[in-house]
Amino acid sequence: MKQPYDHSFHAFIQGIILVGFAMLMLHLILTGNIVYYIAPMMMPFIYFALVVFFLLGIIQVFRSTTKTDHDHHECACEHDHHIKGPSWVKTIIYSIFILPIVLGFALPDRSLDSSVAANRGIQLGGGGNASSSATDNSINETDQNNNGSTSRAEAFLEDPEGYMENLTTQSGEEEHYQFEDIYDEGWFDDYYAELYEELMNNTVIEVTEDNYLDVMTVLDLYLDDFIGKEMEIVGFAYRETDFHSNQIVAARFAMTCCTADASVYGTMIESEESNRFDEDTWIYARGTIKKDHYNDQPIPVLVDAHIQEVEEPDSPYVYPSF
């Protein structure tokens, strides 16, 4: 004999699972550990999901108390929503939903480490395609058309968060960037030209969480101009198997949406102090920029560097700044 489908029970369990998801998100947001999973740019969507899950969870628990729910429900399409199969199948299905919630609470929140970096391959230059075709861009050329549209870059530099927020609210929920940006061809060169000026005027190039990827790109585009300048950088220690004993990389994961798309950037450091640091310890390094080659790619190297161990930064990942 077949058991009737127990609506109220399923609605009840589903409601609690939804509340569980909401609690997990709330927990990650409150502890700040959400940075290990989601890029700040995607946070509005997480807040959205948090609120919706709480509401749906509560509604679902209420739905479970109305026994006659199904008869009232004038929409007959519901049958295919039933979770089918014998009770062990249902148990497995609900376990699938409970699993990420329990894992999220019970396992430590940590950033990806050097074993993932080794798997994904590290970029020691400014990154993939930028180096090959853009190196012939002369800075003077881009300087000349530097007059017009710098306001966007300025707005961003002054208040990055506000700028991003504006973008999000202006362009609706699904879009993170304004569509017109795409057609604003000169913007990139202007933006990087400005950063180039700024970096050249500073005695020491400070690489921070906020400017990480941009500095890497500028350094890659105009490496020759930066030879001999001092630079300081923070990253986790990483080594390739073919490194010399005085070589080490200060690496960062760059994340666009989530850790699945995180790629690894790093700056090669040459120093006698290198071998004192284990992989995955967070290091601060300060040294002089030199141009060198690794796997036939031109890369910047920090030579005569001073290295010291530091605390893991609040935001272990770096993010694209547009």
Partner 1 sequence: MKSSQGKIIGKDLLGLGLLLLFLILFLFSDRVSTSDYAEALPSAWINVNTIFLSIVLEAIPFILLGVFASALIQLYVSEETIKRFLPKNAWVSLVPAAMLGAILPLCECAIVPVVRRLIKKGMPLHVGIVFLVAAPILNPVVFASTYYAFRTNQTILYTRMGLAFVLAIIIGAILYSIFKSRPNQLRSQINVSLANHHVHLDGGEDLKQVKKASALTQLRNTLYHAVDEFFMMGKYLILGAFIAALFQTFLDRSLLEAIGGNEYSSTFVMMVFAYLLSLCSEADAFVASSFGSSFTDASLVAFLVYGPMLDLKNTFMLFAFFKVRFVLIFMVTVTLCVFTAVILLSGWIL
Distance between alpha carbon 82 and the CA centroid of its chain, in Å?
37
Residue with tokens 């997480």, as numbered in its chain: 46
Q: Which amino acid is at 248?
A: I
Q: Which of residues 8-47 bind partner 1 (CB under 8 A)?
A: 9, 12-14, 16-21, 23-28, 31, 34, 36-38, 42, 45-46
Min. distance of Cβ 286 from partner 1 in angstroms? 27
Residue 5 within binding range of partner 1, rule CB under 8 A: no
Nearer to partner 1, 55 or 155 (CB): 55
How far is residue 63's CA from residue 78's CA, in Å, rounded to a whole number? 14
Min. distance of Cβ 317 from partner 1 in angstroms? 11
Min. distance of Cβ 253 from partner 1 in angstroms? 11
Min. distance of Cβ 90 from partner 1 in angstroms? 11
Q: Which of residues 52-71 bind partner 1 (CB under 8 A)?
A: 52, 55-56, 59-60, 63
Q: Which of 40, 146, 149, 188 binds partner 1 (CB under 8 A)?
A: 188
Min. distance of Cβ 202 from partner 1 in angstroms? 25
Contacts 24+ apart (CB under 8 A), 75-84: 82/5, 83/10
Q: Which of residues 123-182 bind partner 1 (CB under 8 A)?
A: 123, 127-134, 173-177, 179, 181-182
Nearer to partner 1, 155 or 204 (CB): 155
Write out the DSSP string of 142-201. HHHT-SSS-HHHHHHHH-HHHHHHHHHHHTTTT-SS-GGGGG-THHHHHHHHHHHHHHHH
In the stretch 207-236, what mask flags binding to partner 1 with x, by CB under 8 A? ------------------------------
In the stretch 75-104, what mask flags binding to partner 1 with x, by CB under 8 A? xxxxxxx-x---------x--xxxxxxxxx
Stretch that binds partner 1, among 229-237, 250-258, 286-294, 305-313 (CB under 8 A): 250-258
Q: Which of residues 283-312 bind partner 1 (CB under 8 A)?
A: 297
Q: Which DSSP state fits 33? A: G
Q: Which of 85, 120, 169, 293 binds partner 1 (CB under 8 A)?
A: 120
Min. distance of Cβ 234 from partner 1 in angstroms? 21
Min. distance of Cβ 73 from partner 1 in angstroms? 7
How far is residue 213's CA from residue 320's CA, in Å, rounded to a whole number? 6
Which residues have a Cβ under 8 Å from the Cβ of 262 and sit 6 or more positions away?
A: 112, 120, 253, 254, 255, 256, 317
Residue with tokens 């990154």, as numbered in its chain: 127
How far is residue 274's CA from residue 287's CA, in Å, rounded to a whole number? 12
Contact 123, 264 (CB under 8 A): yes
Nearer to partner 1, 121 or 228 (CB): 121
Nearer to partner 1, 297 or 308 (CB): 297
DSSP alpha helix (H) spans, the chain:
7-31, 43-65, 69-72, 87-106, 114-120, 128-134, 139-144, 151-158, 160-170, 186-201, 212-221, 223-226
Q: Which of 1, 86, 88, 119 binds partner 1 (CB under 8 A)?
A: 119
